[in-house]
Amino acid sequence: MSSASLLKMKRCNFGFTLIELVIAITIGAMVMGILVYSLSITLKTWEKAKKPPDTAIDSLLDLLATQIIHASKDIPEKFIFRGKSNLLAFTTNFSVMGLSMNTEVLACYKYDEQGKKLLYRQEIITRGEEEKLNKFIGECFDFTSEDKGWTVILPAENFRITYWHSQDRLDQWEDLKTPPGRILVEASREGKAIARLIYPDIKSILNSHQSKIEK
């Protein structure tokens, strides 16, 4: 055998077999898969950290709770507290429209299920304008009317109110002159859901509790 043939055989022995190539490709694919997965997790974590948390629902429920706690009884003949599962109207001296404190207003929250948005509207309460006030209440509870005069305060996938009377859970509250013992407000937006339990007559509860302590 010539020296050229021996050299050719030695060169062939340094090559890769088909099995070795398949194993190498498989290992490479597994490594690439792990790297891609790790990179996607890292990017998602970075995007989540970069995006500020949605506090709109929390702020809204804080506002609603404050207004309900300040539900005004300073004008007994004008005191109103009425609601449904998607609507709530009540008198309060806590306005969201920049009015001074102790300004009596009738606040109304209404959830538009079709438009997936929460609407707000308020009317200043003055003596001797019962007809104007009754018209406003009628407009609040009219879901067939246009949104003229209403302000969109929060796009939301869901908004629901539940009323408690003793141990009974109710979908609506019709006792205009007496607020319920507690209210459960549930809302969701952009995948975030939150529930808030509000006690409308919390001031009376605290005053009663304080009186018992002093005795």
Residue 7: the pLDDT is 47
Q: What is the pLDDT of residue 207?
A: 43
Quick one: 107 exposed, middle or buried, by C-beta within 10 A (0-12, 13-18, 19+)?
Answer: buried
Q: Per DSSP, what are the bridge partners of residue 185?
A: 161, 196
CA 100 vs CA 95, 108, 208, 212: distances in Å: 8, 18, 29, 34
CB 69 within 8 A of CB 202: yes
Count of other CB atoms within 10 angstroms of residue 132: 12
Q: Residue 212 has what pLDDT? A: 37
Per-residue pLDDT of the chain in tens (215 residues, 90 and over written 9): 555 554 455 555 555 677 877 888 888 888 887 777 777 776 666 665 555 556 778 888 888 888 888 875 555 666 788 899 999 988 888 887 665 556 788 889 999 888 899 999 888 877 666 777 778 778 888 766 666 778 888 889 999 999 988 888 899 988 767 788 889 999 988 888 888 888 886 554 444 334 433 44
Give the CA distances from residue 52 to residues 47, 55, 191, in Å, rounded to whole numbers and listed in that order. 10, 9, 14
HSE-CB for 48 with a 13 A CA cutoff: 6
- Tell if the pTM clears 0.75, that is, is over it: no
